[in-house]
Copies of this chain bind each other. A is one copy, B any other.
Amino acid sequence: MDLIATLSCSDQPGIVHAVTSAILECGGNIIENQQFTDVPSGTFLMRTRFETARGVNETKREFEKKLTAFKPSITIRERTRKKRGLILVSKESHCIRDLIYLHEIDELPIEIPLVISNHQDLEPLIKNQGIEFKYIEVDPKNKDLAEAELENIIKNLEIDFIVLARYMQILSKEFSLRYAGKIINIHHSFLPSFKGAKPYHQAFERGVKIIGATAHFVTPVLDEGPIIDQDVAYVGHGANLDQMISLGRDVERRVLARAVRFYAEDRIFIVDNRTIVFH
A residues contacting B by CB (< 8 A) are 12-14, 16-17, 20-21, 23-24, 27-39, 93-94, 97, 101, 105, 107, 128, 190-194, 205-210, 212, 226-232, 236-238, 240, 246, 250, 254, 272-277, 279
Given the complex, which residues of B lie within 8 Å of A250, measured CB to CB? Answer: 254
- Chain A binding surface SS class: mixed
Residues of chain B contacted by A208 (CB below 8 angstroms): 227, 230
Within 8 Å by CB of A226, from B17, B105, B207, B232, lies B207
Q: A279, B31: Cβ atoms under 8 Å?
A: no
Taking a contact as CB atoms under 8 Å apart, the answer to whether A237 and B276 are in contact is yes
Q: Given A190-B190, A206-B227, A237-B274, list of 5 further CB < 8 A pairs?
A: A13-B24, A33-B35, A34-B34, A36-B237, A238-B279
A44 to chain B minimum Cβ distance, whole angstroms, is 9
Contact A101 B107 (CB under 8 A): no
Which 9 pairs across A and B sit closest by C-beta, in order of nearness? A207-B274, A193-B193, A17-B20, A209-B230, A237-B276, A210-B230, A16-B20, A13-B29, A192-B193
Complex CA gap A23/B16 in Å reads: 11
Task: Specify which of B37, B206, B237 is in contact with A192 (CB 8 Å cutoff).
Answer: B206
28 sampled A-B residue pairs with Cβ under 8 A = A12-B29, A13-B24, A14-B20, A14-B24, A16-B30, A16-B33, A17-B21, A17-B23, A20-B20, A32-B37, A33-B35, A34-B34, A36-B237, A94-B105, A97-B101, A190-B190, A190-B212, A191-B193, A191-B206, A205-B273, A205-B274, A207-B275, A208-B230, A209-B228, A209-B229, A236-B279, A238-B279, A250-B254
Across-interface contacts of A272 in B (CB, < 8 A): 205, 207
- Name the B residues within 8 Å of A107 (CB-CB): 246
Shortest CB-to-CB span from A45 to chain B, Å, is 9
Residues of B within 8 A of A274 (CB): 205-207, 237
Whose C-beta in chain B lies nearest to the C-beta of A195? B193
Q: How far is B227's CA from A232's CA once the two chains are assembled, in angstroms?
A: 16
Complex CA distance for A12 and B27, rounded to whole angstroms: 11
